[in-house]
Chains A and B, each alone.
Chain A
Amino acid sequence: MNEMEPWEEDIEILLRHSMSSAAPDLSQDFEIALMTKLDLATKRLDKFRRVMICGYILVSALASVVIMRGEGLHWAAIGALLLGPATLLSLIPSLLRLSRGPVNQAFL
């Protein structure tokens, strides 16, 4: 801010005088309020995702049952076709954990 002309120095003085009030600070609970909002937003999103996934599963299972019954399949076969993949899917995380376990421990 060197080499100012006289008119610029005058404006500089005016600006410094006009803007000499104390600047406000953030309220004390800014972070708490923000993290609360964040928690709420995350929970709402999680709930929405869960509802969407459950809805999708229910609708597709119902549609599958209707189609399979239409094709004349027995209830036992329909049950096996629906529950089999579902059981396999629910086992995947446990299987992955088991297979990764020793590898992770090697890095410890």
Chain B
Amino acid sequence: METDSQLICRVQRGDQTAFAELVRRHRHQVFSLALSILGPAFAPEAEDVAQEVFLKAYRSLGTFRGDAEFGSWVYRITFNQAVNLKSLARFRRPNLRESALQNVVSDEAGPDRQAETAQRDQALTECILTLPDAYQSALRLYYWLGKSVGEVSELLGVPENTVKSYLHRARLLLQGKLKERGY
């Protein structure tokens, strides 16, 4: 199997099928990263970000010198693109309550208990939205998208210990915020 660098050389010689192969290799990771930054309510927007990222990468591949891995380079573009999009006004609040996308039916007994759980989940979701982008992304990649610490580290371009620290600090901040809300 060809390495990313070999495929990049082919793309630089004008071979679009090599670029299609690069897209095939990295599309899910790019989409997951965009989704982890934008949040569960923005899957179509995350897909748009993934498309934009690959178009941008294709245009810049002519000047790509290969100092960094293609993956890390593309993930960095994704992170910046998604954060920029998120800073737009309409992304400050999701158009759908994120909890609405989560388990509607709970196996816990009683409607009161279910309502309580739903309220607590909603509060947690709102607290997550107040965290720094890197923490939100790390949390969603790890807990929601099921990535390992190593994979999160690769996607965010930081060492594994930094990911662990992000997760720890995010949990600490969430505990404080939930306590403030009486949970």
Residues of A with Cβ closer than 8 Å to B? 1, 7-8, 10-12, 14-21, 23-24, 26-27, 30-31, 33-35, 37-39, 41
Q: Which of B50, B55, B125, B145 contacts A23 (CB 8 A)?
A: B145
CA distance A10 to B183 in the complex (A): 11
Q: Contact size class for B?
A: 35 or more
Residue pair A8, B23 in contact (C-beta under 8 Å): no
Residue pair B103, A30 in contact (C-beta under 8 Å): no
Given contacts A30-B27, A30-B47, A30-B51, contact A38 B139 (CB under 8 A): no
Q: How far in angstroms is the closest Cβ of chain B from A31?
A: 6
User: 1/0 per residue B94-106: CB within 8 Å of A?
Assistant: 0000010111000
Residues of B with Cβ closer than 8 Å to A? 16, 19-20, 23-24, 27-28, 31-32, 35, 40, 43, 47, 50-51, 54-55, 58-59, 99, 101-103, 117, 120-121, 124-125, 139-140, 143-146, 149, 164, 167-168, 171-172, 174-175, 178
Question: Assuming A16-B143, A17-B121, A21-B40, what are 15 further A-B pairs, CB within 8 angstroms?
Answer: A12-B171, A14-B120, A14-B124, A17-B117, A18-B124, A19-B143, A19-B144, A21-B144, A24-B35, A30-B31, A30-B50, A30-B51, A34-B23, A34-B51, A38-B16
